[in-house]
Amino acid sequence: MAAAKTLIVPKGATGVLVFADGSAVFGRGFGATGEAVGELCFNTAMTGYQEVMTDPSYAGQIVNFTFPHIGNVGTNLDDVEADLPHALGCVVRQDVTEPSNFRNVEPFDQWMKEQGRIGLAGVDTRALTRLIRVKGAPNVVIAHDPEGRFDLEALAAKAASWPGLEGMDLAIEVSAKESRLWKDGVWKLGFGYGRDEAGEERPHVVAIDYGAKNNIFRNLVKAGARVTVLPATATYEQVMEQKPDGVFLSNGPGDPAATGEYAVPVIRQVLDADKPVFGICLGHQMLALAAGARTIKMHQGHRGANHPVKRLEDGLVEITSMNHGFAVDSDTLPANVKPTHVSLFDGSNCGIELTDKKAFSVQYHPEASPGPQDSFYLFQRFVEGLK
């Protein structure tokens, strides 16, 4: 797999992943035709492919799923984390079968096609994962053509000339462009999404959207907040105009250090004004940057739904959902930044708290979607703290 430079397309191959060095992995294309260039990452979650594909933090990335049966429950209108899929494409082991689920609305391959996203099936995705673990996340082109016509040299050149995620600001591209009130609560079988009938008396959370997953806002509503969403480029004055009781910093794609021009200075001003702050994933990384720490690109990243994280205050282990390729460098935490959570997989930083401010953040995804719900308490902790 992905061993040598390949110039011949095997008979029957209708999809391919091409690496910058010219090596290629062939399979059967599904979803949209065409090609897309991005970073290849792997996700080990056993459920929730629709949530993964629509998580805006996957902008610029192609997801290699280690779980073999992707697409088997189809797609529906509810399990989406944003209006569009943001991952560029996906690589899967088994061909996508007829959906078998009472919630299915549309087969996965058709949904991918309509959304302009490319799929590649019939690949040894676990071998591909091992390759990423050894060599780090590569830049690749995913391509699909029902006739199997691929110009492999041109595709390799495209992968080679893509600049990579490091230094790339994508939050600005996927963020909401307008401010809005958020109204949905969490989903319940038989009921769908709850409705927020919040009164003015509830704590007001101003959530800055750097590419947010909707389930974060739903959980803030469930925890009892009134939620206003602002675009990533919101100024300090625009944040304060909303009279927030607390400010939330969302997840999002790309390199946290590349958002430094607009996001981090605003976060610093919010901290200086002593507003309570809660951040998730990219929001965690940017809170750390605003506090004076540094972020680093990880070798392979963390993406899945079973990542154990230790809460340092009492040693409790949370099983968490993760999706990140950058991390806060724990060696750079200033004296007023206390680490609160650590990954039990590799010891990387998974949470911080500012000792002189009401501000905390986590690297993982307490909103799950997909994943375990061990960390829902963080929404409660934030919103209760605003009262």
Ligand X SMILES: NC(=O)CC[C@H](N)C(=O)O
Residues lying near ligand X in the complex (CB under 6 A) are found at: 57, 251-254, 256, 281-282, 323-326
Bridge partners (DSSP) of residue 359 are: 277, 354
For tokens 């806002």, what's the residue?
217
> 């950058």: which residue's tokens?
326
Report in angstroms how near the CB of residue 228 gets to ligand X at its nearest.
20
Shortest Å distance, C-beta 111 to ligand X: 22
Task: Report helix, strand or coil for 254.
Answer: coil
Distance separating alpha carbons of residues 280 and 205, to the nearest angstrom: 14
Instruction: Select 144 or 213, whichever has its Cβ closest to ligand X.
Output: 213
Q: Tell which residue, 136, 26, 142, has the closest CA to residue 87.
A: 142
Which is the catalytic residue, given 35, 39, 318, 367?
A: 367
Q: Which is nearer to ligand X, 228 or 251 (CB)?
A: 251
Kindly state the tokens that stand for 223.
């925890």
Cβ proximity of 366 and 205 under 8 Å: no
* Beta carbon of residue 249, minimum distance to ligand X (angstroms, whole number): 10
Annotated binding site for L-glutamine: 57, 252, 254, 282, 285, 323, 325-326
Between 72 and 300, whose beta carbon lies closer to ligand X?
A: 300
Residue of 281, 307, 341, 353 marked catalytic = 281
* Start-to-end Cα distance in the chain: 56
365 is catalytic: yes
Task: In angstroms, give the least distance from the CB of 255 to ligand X.
Answer: 7
Its sign, for the CA torsion 297, 300, 306, 308, is: negative
b/e per residue 81-109 (b: at least 16 CB within 10 A): bbeebbbbbbbbbeebeebeeeeeeebbb
Taking the least distance from each CB to ligand X, the nearer of 73 and 281 is 281
Q: Which residues are annotated as a binding site?
A: 57, 252, 254, 282, 285, 323, 325-326
Cite the active site residues.
281, 365, 367
